[in-house]
Structure 1
């Protein structure tokens, strides 16, 4: 089976007015030039969440993001927050495949089957959090246009980087990506328009992003305000990227080892 394991974000400070990063660099273009068939990038994603006044850290998501003709076409991701040894999902186009490496008494599979395939809500993008998309040129350029500070910083993936950081509002993000949603499918308009995403990007001399960090609040419209609970959740996500341009031929698992979820539900 030719599936590559998916492994799914500083020292003189420049102060003053926002830095017009687009005029001196174009990471969006550098990333787009990487999006060619048969190649990809390794990622490690770490997330923290504040649900009700206390922070919780999650185990990393690791994997490989596979590229196509100017877009993300596949992922092979292991989420170590699910299952004893993590849960592996391969996503190709609109189809997903989940590996059951060990027998699951709650979901027994037919003999010889170890993969379940289904219509998977694939997130074929490369991003920090839900909002800072690295694979969408318009979004990345809009984010970089809000750069407030930059400074030389550390080495990531063997490359010395420059840290760019700033904040961008949901309204600004929604303008370049009208399909963007926050929280439970809320449009980032009205009272949410002025909410901000804090962001940091560590960019190498080749203009490729080696680390992306973002922090934001999501509205929680389901909360009972009379209970005195805060009407939002807080999140931070740290994405590390390495081996840009690596060979990544992410293929479906063998058909004779795969069963459709629809068959299990019958």
Structure 2
């Protein structure tokens, strides 16, 4: 099911489209620890890559219907991302999914998907505890072990401009078209840098995008433009990243969709020591009894919402 959902998200990027502007209302965040101000955001990010340290993430993803009249909250997730010497090496994130306005029958049918799920990723392996799998787990098991993925399975509204990847951050900032005051985030006064970057360029520089797509984008989809906003504090660290892109989903649903991701980064340098769950509580995928769970829920939900 994880592979199916990720495949559905990647397939959605095959169609070229125009990009809609990314807008999201500011919200207050907790103060961050003071940092010395490096010369640029990429240098500042690299200085954060210390084992046992990390940053807190709060993220929401939206699917916005054609004409911007049909708004759907697709998912939220939050937790801690832990750094090694080259970037993020571990994470502990809790995700929730909601579909405002959905009929009660749909919510009841997929109630397990609407329940919070937690995924711990460490040493190249992910462990997920989810109500969706609870009834299929062997007795005494509560975590499903799978290979780690650079993207969130089943969520097509990924943060395509991942500001925790130095090459991605550098490439995006090279396309900056405007700067303006960005308000206070995580206790820091920010400047919001805005611009656009193509899907093809993101594929070349970003492990996140390569993991999402699985293969190089076609000649038609590579020029798809992703709009982005990066809110950068005086210490040159990113406090908020917003990205959006629009494409046709016709054939799967009756409308074009805009995907909007809004990620907040707080507590830079927070101590972190993420560990795998106890082995006795971990199940392998082949151990699951998945009878009755073969249908792709992503497709059903989008079809019904559209």
User: Unaligned stretches of 5+ in structure 2?
Assistant: 1-23, 25-37, 98-111, 291-306
Give secondary structure in 2 for the equivalent of 1:142: helix
Is structure 2 residue 56 aligned with structure 1 residue 26? no
Give secondary structure in 2 for the equivalent of 1:69: coil
Distance of 1:152 and 1:69 partners within structure 2: 32
Give secondary structure in 1 for the equivalent of 2:288: helix
Q: Is the alpha carbon distance of 1:173 and 1:83 closer, same or farther for their aligned partners in structure 2, counting shifts above 3 Å?
A: closer
* Mapping for residues 60-209 of structure 1, pairs under 5 Å: 60-81=76-97, 83=113, 85-99=115-129, 104=134, 106-111=135-140, 113-123=141-151, 129-177=158-206, 180=209, 187-209=216-238
Q: Contact 2:62–2:75 (CA<8 Å) still a contact in 1? A: no
Q: Which residue of 2 aligns with 1:44?
A: 58
Is structure 2 residue 258 aligned with structure 1 residue 242? no
Q: Contact 1:98–1:116 (CA<8 Å) still a contact in 2? A: yes
Q: CA RMSD, aligned part only?
A: 3.3
Give secondary structure in 1 for the equivalent of 2:274: coil
Give the stretch that moved more between structures: 83-92 or 63-72. 83-92
Could you tell me how far 1:55 is from its partner in structure 2? 2.6
Q: State TM-score, norm by structure 2.
A: 0.66
Give the stretch that moved more between structures: 85-94 or 241-250. 85-94
Q: State TM-score, norm by structure 1.
A: 0.75
Q: Contact 1:91–1:122 (CA<8 Å) still a contact in 2? A: no
| Deviation string, structure 1 residues 22-45 (Cα, Å, up to 9, x no partner) | xx9521221111111111110011
User: Unaligned stretches of 5+ in structure 1?
Assistant: 1-8, 10-23
Q: Is the alpha carbon distance of 1:175 and 1:219 closer, same or farther for their aligned partners in structure 2, counting shifts above 3 Å?
A: farther
Distance of 1:179 and 1:38 partners within structure 2: 22
Could you tell me how far 1:184 is from its partner in structure 2? 6.2
| Deviation string, structure 1 residues 114-163 (Cα, Å, up to 9, x no partner) | 32323343549xxx934212122222111111111111231111111111
Q: Which residue of 2 aligns with 1:58?
A: 74
Give secondary structure in 2 for the equivalent of 1:245: strand
Could you tell me how far 1:92 is from its partner in structure 2? 1.3
Distance of 1:37 and 1:63 partners within structure 2: 17
Structure with the bigger percentage of helix: 2
Structure with the bigger percentage of strand: 1
Distance of 1:96 and 1:194 partners within structure 2: 32
Q: Contact 1:66–1:250 (CA<8 Å) still a contact in 2? A: yes
Q: Contact 2:75–2:96 (CA<8 Å) still a contact in 1? A: yes
Q: Is the alpha carbon distance of 1:58 and 1:109 closer, same or farther for their aligned partners in structure 2, counting shifts above 3 Å?
A: same
Q: Which residue of 2 aligns with 1:3?
A: none
Q: Is the alpha carbon distance of 1:190 and 1:77 closer, same or farther for their aligned partners in structure 2, counting shifts above 3 Å?
A: same
Q: Contact 1:151–1:162 (CA<8 Å) still a contact in 2? A: yes
